Structure 1
Amino acid sequence: MMQNEIQLKPEEDDYSDISLRPMDVDDIDDFMVWATDDKVSQYCSWSTYTSKEQAMNYMTNIVAPHPWLRAICLKNRVIGSISVTPFQGNDACRGELGYVLASKYWGKGIATRAVKMVASVIFVEWPHLERLEALVDVANVGSQRVLMKAGFEREGVLRKYRILKGRTRDMVIFSLLSSEVTQS
């Protein structure tokens, strides 16, 4: 296993060989599969990618310098990504979770597994972190289900909270506290 790779023990189904690892430019073709899918980007802050050049810029300017961004891999092939973005200053006790997964893998428990994997390591890797939170568009029911299954608490709706694709959207906020995660 590579350094910084997180592995979940395989189960019986075809979707059990899930791991998280750093993403790099060698993953560009796999990245393009889901980054060019309008269904995938629908609730994301970014627009659907239309060229490898855009993807290379993303890899260089966002992925490489990001403090905690991992590829979600199925049998070591990139099918999505997951990140924790730390807050600064008086909010340094919090981090924001974000994830995206290729649409063909939706509803198979992969995102839930990836979120649980992150929750099991992020509070250890970043001991100053006490709260992991996620903001989900009110219409993104699937992502809300992922967080609930992963043990996050739904705290409420933030009305007219974010402009997404030119429209002001209501967002549901979820959280998981370091004290709620059991370390194995």
Structure 2
Amino acid sequence: MEQNIMIERLSISSKEEIIDLNQITLRSFNLSDLDDLMVWHTDEKVAKFWGEPYTSKDQGINFIKNMAGKYLRCKAICHNDHAIGCIKLSSSSLYDKSRNRCAEIGYVLASKYWGKGIATCAVKQMVKVAFSEFQSLERLQALVDMDNVGSQKVLEKVGFQKEGLLRKYVFFKGKSRDMIMFSLLFTDLQL
């Protein structure tokens, strides 16, 4: 009998959590998000494409306090008001006035939430924000590591078009990496 109880517990704990995508929101980060933020910033799976994992909470605090000035928008991807990821919109117009009609989108999500439609939902929300709040914006673009198939699928589901392969485009984690350029134009949207 004890063995049956153990099997039942295992099957219950292995059930996949179903996420209601209507509960996915974007909001500003708060210092109270620190523990949630540290979940994905210390995850090796996430770090494969995002950057070096954080080793201290001070790095997380610095991220929360100092990111606002670095991006056009930087929001927490939230489920039930818990920060489970981050999505950002940046512009190169600070450096190149000829590209002020273009912005770049980037996102990261805790690996526990991969494959559930959450990143797609968040990107759709940020696309709406970008094109409604920045009237002169004509183009959103995203650079994705060639090995990051999941992120490529997210962009394609939202309507981004694959433009091409940028060979040896970035030097990341000790090696040159190929990147794929995606774009979504304002004229591509179904309004």
Normalised to the residue count of structure 2, the TM-score between the two structures is: 0.85
User: Does the Cα contact within 8 Å between 1:154 and 1:172 map onto a contact in 2?
Assistant: yes
1:15, 1:38 → 2: CA distance? 26
Structure that is richer in helix per residue? 2
- Change beyond 3 A, Cα 1:116–1:79: same
Using the TM superposition, give the Cα deviation of residue 31 of structure 1 relative to its aligned residue in structure 2, in angstroms: 0.3
Please state whether the residue corresponding to 1:139 is helix, strand or coil.
Answer: coil
Residue type matched to 2:139 in 1?
R
Out of 94, 98, 101, the residue aligned to residue 90 of structure 1 is 98
Over the aligned positions, Cα root-mean-square deviation in angstroms equals 1.3
Structure 1 residue runs of 5 or longer lacking an equivalent are 1-12
> What pairs up with 1:118-129 in 2 under 5 angstroms?
118-129=126-137
2:28, 2:73 → 1: CA distance? 9
Out of 99, 103, 118, the residue aligned to residue 111 of structure 2 is 103
Match for residue 171 of structure 1?
A: 179
- 1:56-111 deviations in Å (ceiling 9; x for gaps): 11222224653200100011111000011012111111101000000000000000
1:132 aligns with 2:140: yes
Q: Give the fraction of aligned pairs with identical amino acids, expressed as a percent.
A: 48
2:69, 2:181 → 1: CA distance? 27
Please state whether the residue corresponding to 1:108 is helix, strand or coil.
Answer: coil
Number of residue equivalences: 170
Please state whether the residue corresponding to 1:182 is helix, strand or coil.
Answer: coil
For the pair shown, which has the larger CA radius of gyration, 1 or 2? Answer: 2
Match for residue 34 of structure 1?
A: 40
Match for residue 59 of structure 1?
A: 64
Please state whether the residue corresponding to 2:177 is helix, strand or coil.
Answer: strand
2:121, 2:169 → 1: CA distance? 28
Match for residue 80 of structure 1?
A: 85
Structure 2 residue runs of 5 or longer lacking an equivalent are 1-17
Out of 132, 138, 150, the residue aligned to residue 142 of structure 1 is 150
